[in-house]
Amino acid sequence: MGPNHMAEDYPFNVVNNTVYNVFLGIGNHMGSSAYYMIYVKFRNQSEPLPNATAGTPSPLSPLYECRVFLQDGKTWETPLTFSFSEVSFFNNQSFVESLVINDVVFSVGKLVLWDGDNNGFYFQVFVELWIYNAGFDAFEFHNRFVGIWLNMTGV
């Protein structure tokens, strides 16, 4: 959800050293209690998203993780703040050295090329939902994910 707890007003044009706010939320409609894990990942245009057809997560390493236990019919929400640092622009490329999520700094080293069709330098923050499988004693990708595209600007 965006900064006003609505499915709108997401940040889009982002700049270096500015903090952005969104909210993550889960509603449990599984028919029983469930233990969830959320992975926050960051990608450029050429890196893979989860494969919804195969039901497999993105192979990108998670940067940030949340875990929550929810009874059936309950919902959960938490703020997620993020910002970028050490962003540079050169030769129709943008490079992001660090991404800060909820005050934790992650070295991401992501490079993206100028997208002439859409006029921007596009990165994506996305979130994968995993659920605990007691039979396997492990979390499994739940084939649910959501992301927001971000256009890195110099101003």
Higher pLDDT, 143 or 3: 143
Q: In whole angstroms, what is the distance from residue 62 CA to residue 64 CA?
A: 6
User: Does residue 4 lie in a domain region?
Assistant: no
With a cut of 90, say whether residue 9 has pLDDT above it: no
User: Does residue 8 lie in a domain region?
Assistant: no
User: Does residue 85 lie in a domain region?
Assistant: yes
User: Does residue 77 lie in a domain region?
Assistant: yes
With a cut of 70, say whether residue 51 has pLDDT above it: yes
The parent domain of residue 102 ranges over 13-152
User: For the chain, what is the domain count?
Assistant: 1
CATH number, domain with residue 70: 2.60.40
Using the structure block, give the residue that is written with the tokens 């919902």.
75
pTM value is: 0.92
With a cut of 80, say whether residue 150 has pLDDT above it: yes
User: Does residue 71 lie in a domain region?
Assistant: yes
Using the structure block, give the residue that is written with the tokens 């994968």.
128
